[in-house]
C-alpha cells in the first residue's frame, strides 16, 4: 500500500492528536509536589505561593513531605512516577548528585527534567547554649581535643550539609560523628534535646531558634549572607571551604516541554514577587532564580563537581 504525502500528513495529525489534547488539557486534576525531607524544612520555601500556583493552574497543588535516605525515598518516588506533569519534585541538588552515589542508588540527574531553581543558600553550623564552646574557634578547639567525640546531625548521608561538614573536618584536620536525620528540623530538635552536639542545616531552620538556645557558629557561603551579617564564614576562619546548595523544581524525564515551561514560568513569577522575596528574607532564605536552561547547566556542573568532591573526601557508597 502506498502512502501519499497528503495521507501521511493526515495520519501524522491523527497520531499527534492525543499528545496535543493531553498537553492542552493539562492540568485537569490535582498536582502533587514531593519534597523529600521532613515537614518544616524545604517545604517552607514553596508553601507561601502554593495557593497562587493552584489558582494559576486551576487545580489544587498538594505538597507532600516524603522523608528518608537523605532525600532518596522522595526523589525515587518522583523518578518512578508517570511523566505526565502531575508529580513534581522540589529538592536540594545534593539529593540528585551526592545521595545516589553514596548510597549506590539507581538514579541520577539524567532521570529528571529540570524546571526552575528557586532558592540558593549557604548552610549554618550551630551548637546550643550551655556548651563548652560558644563560637567557631571554641568548636575547633573542642573538636581537635576529642576526635569523634562531638556528634553532628544533617538531613542524611550524601546531603549537602553532610558533605560540607566532611569537607570542613578534612580541611581543619579533625573527625566528627555523623548522625543522619529525616530532615534538618528533626536534627534541630535532637540538638536542643542534647542528643547531638551540632547541626548543619539551612538558615531557615537554624536562625529562628536562636532565642530557644541554638547558637550559630559559622556559615558556608563565600561571603556573609545579607540575612545573617553577624555569622562568620568558613573562609574567615581560615578554611578554604565554600558550599552553597540550590533548591529547585524538577519532573520525571520525558515530561512534555510545554508543561515544564509553563510550570517554570510560574515558579519564576512567584519567586520574583516582592512580597515573597520579603518573606524569604525575613526567614533567612536567599532567592536564586534560574530558568530551565540555566538550571540544567548548573545541575550538570554540580554533578561533575560532586563526583570530584566525593573522591577527594574518600567517601564511598555504603
Concatenated DSSP letters of 253-311: TT--HHHHHHHHHHHHHHHH-HHHHHHHHHTT--EEEE-HHHHHHHHHHHHHHHHHHHH
In this structure, the answer to whether residues 183 and 214 fall within a common structural domain is: yes
| Shared-domain flag, residues 195 and 266 | no
Among 219, 236, 264, give the residue marking a domain's end. Answer: 219
pTM of the entire structure? 0.82
The answer to whether position 3 is within a domain reads no
Among 219, 236, 256, identify where a domain stops.
219
Same domain flag for 173 and 209? yes
Rounded percentage of the chain residues whose pLDDT exceeds 90: 72
Domain count, the chain: 2
Say whether both 80 and 149 belong to one domain. no
Structural domain contains residue 229:
no
pLDDT at 318: 53
Q: What is the model's pLDDT at position 24? A: 66
> Dihedrals φ, ψ of 47, to 5°?
-60, -35
Residues near 119 by beta carbon (within 8 Å), at least 6 away in sequence: 45, 246, 247, 248, 280, 285, 286, 287, 288
Q: Which residue has the higher pLDDT, 23 or 242?
A: 242
Bond prior to 76 in cis (omega within 30° of 0): no
CB 80 within 8 A of CB 74: no
Domain co-membership, 213 together with 136: yes
Question: What's the CATH code of the domain at 160?
Answer: 3.40.190.10
Q: What is the mean pLDDT of residues 26-54?
A: 95
Q: Give yes or no: residues 156 and 94 share one domain.
A: no
Residue 130 in any domain: the answer is yes
Does 44 share its domain with 127?
A: no
204 and 270 part of one domain: no
C-alpha cell of residue 196: 547531638
**Same domain flag for 93 and 169:** no
For residue range 266-301, what is the model confidence (pLDDT) as tens digits?
999 999 999 999 999 999 998 999 999 999 999 999
Question: 243 or 23: which carries more pLDDT confidence?
Answer: 243
Question: Does 171 reside within a domain?
Answer: yes
Euclidean distance between CA atoms 60 and 294, whole angstroms: 28
Bridge-partner residues for 117, per DSSP? 248, 290
Query: Can you give the pLDDT at residue 317?
Result: 59
* Rounded Cα gap, residues 71 and 82, in angstroms: 19
Within a domain: residue 230? no
Beta bridge partners of 112: 252
Indicate if the pLDDT at residue 17 is higher than 80: no
Domain boundary among 219, 235, 256: 219
Domain boundaries, position 294: 29-121+245-313
- The answer to the question of residue 198 being in a domain is yes
Mean pLDDT of 311-315: 87
CATH number, domain of 259, equals 3.40.190.150
Own/partner pairs for 220-226, CB < 8 Å, 24+ apart?
A: 220/122, 220/123, 220/124, 220/125, 220/164, 220/244, 221/122, 225/121, 225/122, 225/284, 225/286, 226/281, 226/286
Amino acid at each position: 500500500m502506498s502512502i501519499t504525502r497528503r495521507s501521511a500528513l493526515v495520519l501524522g495529525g491523527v497520531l499527534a492528536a492525543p499528545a496535543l489534547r493531553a498537553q492542552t488539557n493539562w492540568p485537569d486534576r490535582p498536582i502533587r509536589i514531593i519534597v523529600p525531607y521532613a515537614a518544616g524544612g524545604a517545604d517552607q520555601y514553596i508553601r507561601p505561593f502554593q495557593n497562587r500556583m493552584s489558582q494559576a493552574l486551576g487545580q489544587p497543588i498538594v505538597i507532600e513531605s516524603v522523608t528518608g535516605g537523605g532525600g532518596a525515598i522522595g526523589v525515587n518516588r518522583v523518578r518512578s512516577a508517570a511523566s505526565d506533569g502531575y508529580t513534581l519534585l522540589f529538592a536540594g541538588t545534593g539529593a540528585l548528585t551526592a545521595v545516589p552515589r553514596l548510597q549506590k542508588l539507581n538514579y541520577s540527574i539524567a532521570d529528571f527534567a529540570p524546571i526552575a531553581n528557586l532558592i540558593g543558600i549557604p548552610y549554618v553550623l550551630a551548637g546550643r547554649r550551655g556548651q563548652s564552646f560558644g563560637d567557631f574557634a571554641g568548636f575547633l578547639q573542642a573538636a581537635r581535643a576529642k576526635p569523634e567525640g562531638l556528634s553532628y546531625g544533617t538531613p542524611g548521608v550524601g546531603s549537602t550539609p553532610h558533605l560540607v561538614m566532611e569537607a570542613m573536618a578534612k580541611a581543619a584536620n579533625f573527625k566528627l560523628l555523623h548522625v543522619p536525620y529525616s530532615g534538618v528540623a528533626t536534627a534541630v530538635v535532637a540538638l536542643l534535646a542534647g542528643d547531638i552536639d551540632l547541626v548543619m542545616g539551612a538558615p531557615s531552620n537554624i536562625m529562628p531558634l536562636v532565642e530557644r538556645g541554638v547558637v550559630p557558629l559559622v556559615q558556608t557561603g563565600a561571603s556573609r549572607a545579607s540575612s545573617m551579617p553577624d555569622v562568620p564564614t568558613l573562609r574567615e576562619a581560615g578554611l578554604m571551604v565554600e558550599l552553597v546548595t540550590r533548591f529547585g523544581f524538577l519532573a520525571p524525564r520525558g515530561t512534555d516541554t510545554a508543561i515544564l515551561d509553563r510550570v517554570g514560568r510560574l515558579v519564576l513569577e512567584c519567586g520574583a514577587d516582592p512580597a515573597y522575596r520579603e518573606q524569604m528574607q525575613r526567614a533567612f532564605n536567599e532567592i536564586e532564580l534560574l530558568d530551565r536552561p540555566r538550571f540544567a547547566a548548573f545541575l550538570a556542573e554540580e554533578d561533575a563537581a560532586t563526583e570530584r568532591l566525593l573522591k577527594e573526601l574518600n567517601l564511598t557508597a555504603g
